[in-house]
């Protein structure tokens, strides 16, 4: 199959969105690129189910990062991608979610272009969309949320969060926090200081769309303490806003476990 993909020439890089984890949510184009690559450079957020689709003879390079523990620093990843492409390889850079939504795909593309390497994007379903679909919680909903914002809960080099808290503390907007498990206590405190009520619902979704998915319902006033039980290495998405309060009724109608408020895990 490697010689049949005309849009994946030798010595080029494809920045591929692997989606939130369910292999059925991969685009056809993403799957074709994975199957045609000479080498797959992947992050920790790429699920085992997605990695199982990589052909057995394809070289794999793990450059995954954990909070405050970066196996391979970003500049080294950029250099690795360029070096592999210069060897004439088809390089599949596989990222969880979408490479252009908190995936640092732009930085890697800049490095490739600066080196004269052809680079292309293949979009993926971002984690917020995957979590909304799997839990049934809409990110916008008439009368509850007229907009949605995606924000990162982590800064490069573990720098302090400098988000526009006044703007984010909008009760009419759903706030989705990526990579926020280490800083969710600070995020919650800042949002409350800037006007959001402590009883604002928060739904924490881990490993969305995979068999390992869990959903935990809390409130802005409690999530900082309750989220301390979440493992830092597990991908966690926080959905903050009135739409998260729909989850118990949705779970009950869908036959999932629902025990009211608090940090409750749902099957």
Active site residue 179: yes
Catalytic residue among 22, 38, 65, 98: 65
Q: Is 168 helix (H, G, I), strand (E, B) or coil?
A: helix
Catalytic residue among 43, 98, 170, 216: 43
Active site residue 24: no
Report d(CA 123, CA 23) in Å as an integer.
14
- Using a 10 angstrom Cβ sphere, with 0-12 exposed, 13-18 middle and 19 or more buried, the burial of residue 145 is buried
Question: Does residue 161 contact residue 186 with C-beta atoms inside 8 Å?
Answer: yes
Report d(CA 105, CA 260) in Å as an integer.
40
User: What token pair was written down for 206?
Assistant: 């881990």
Reported as type and span, the H/E element at residue 81 is: helix 74-86
Question: Does residue 130 contact residue 22 with C-beta atoms inside 8 Å?
Answer: yes
Catalytic residue among 95, 170, 179, 216: 179
Question: Does residue 130 contact residue 21 with C-beta atoms inside 8 Å?
Answer: yes
Active site residue 98: no
Tell me the catalytic residues. Answer: 43, 65, 179
């Amino acid at each position: 199959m490697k010689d049949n993909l005309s849009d994946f020439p030798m010595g080029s890089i494809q920045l591929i969105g692997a989606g939130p984890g369910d292999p059925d949510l991969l685009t056809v184009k993403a799957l074709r690129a994975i199957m045609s690559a000479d080498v797959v450079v992947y992050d920790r957020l790429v699920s085992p189910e997605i990695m199982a689709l990589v052909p057995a003879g394809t070289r794999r390079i793990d450059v995954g990062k954990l909070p405050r523990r970066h196996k391979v620093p970003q500049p080294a990843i950029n250099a690795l991608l360029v070096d592999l492409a210069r060897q004439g390889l088809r390089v599949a850079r596989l990222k969880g979610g979408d490479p252009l939504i908190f995936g640092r795909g732009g930085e890697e593309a800049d490095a490739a272009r600066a080196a004269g390497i052809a680079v292309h994007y293949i979009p993926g379903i971002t984690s917020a969309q995957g979590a909304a679909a799997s839990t049934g919680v809409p990110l916008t909903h008439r009368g509850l949320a007229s907009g949605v914002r995606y924000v990162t809960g982590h800064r490069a080099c573990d720098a302090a969060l400098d988000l526009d808290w006044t703007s984010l503390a909008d009760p009419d907007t759903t706030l989705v926090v990526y990579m926020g498990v280490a800083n969710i206590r600070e995020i919650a405190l800042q949002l409350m200081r800037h006007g959001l009520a402590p009883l604002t619902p928060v739904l924490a979704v881990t490993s969305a769309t995979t068999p390992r998915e869990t959903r935990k319902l809390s409130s802005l006033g409690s999530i900082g303490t309750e989220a301390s039980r979440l493992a830092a290495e597990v991908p966690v998405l926080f959905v903050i806003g009135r739409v998260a309060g729909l989850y118990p009724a949705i779970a009950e109608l869908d036959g999932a476990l629902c025990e009211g408020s608090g940090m409750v895990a749902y099957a």
